[in-house]
Amino acid sequence: MQKVLIAEDERDIRELVGFTLKLAGLETIYAANGFEAVDRAKADLPDLILMDLHMPGMEGDEAARQIAVDPLTKNIPIIFLTAKDQDLEISGQIGQGINFIAKPFAIESLTRRVKEALANNHK
């Protein structure tokens, strides 16, 4: 079973995304901030990470950088969960080609994007 790490500080969103992905047949693990995301990525080696951009302690972009430089986790794809007004901010902070889903999102769209990313990563 494919595993998705959901790194989101808002509990309601984290639980909604987790419930949705479980219904889609995926295993889910959780992190409430960037520090936990880095630790869980190393410990659990998920197939994909859904990462909120703004979280307490360590922001999502910094967590993504740390995940990207670790030989153990560098190949794990990351999709950022962001508010619509943060779209340009992501491109400016992290670079072009960043994969993100804007909040609020449609459940069907989230599931489709996650499954597409997982399929593309296993090719």
Tens of pLDDT, residues 56-106: 899 998 999 999 999 999 999 999 888 755 554 554 454 445 688 888 888
| Torsion angle in degrees (nearest 10) through CA of 44, 47, 112, 19 | -10
Q: Please give the mean pLDDT across all residues of the chain.
A: 88
Nearest to 81 by CA among 14, 11, 2: 14
Kindly list the domain boundaries of the chain, sorted by start residue: 3-121
Instruction: For the domain made up of 3-121, give the CATH fold.
Output: Rossmann fold (3.40.50)
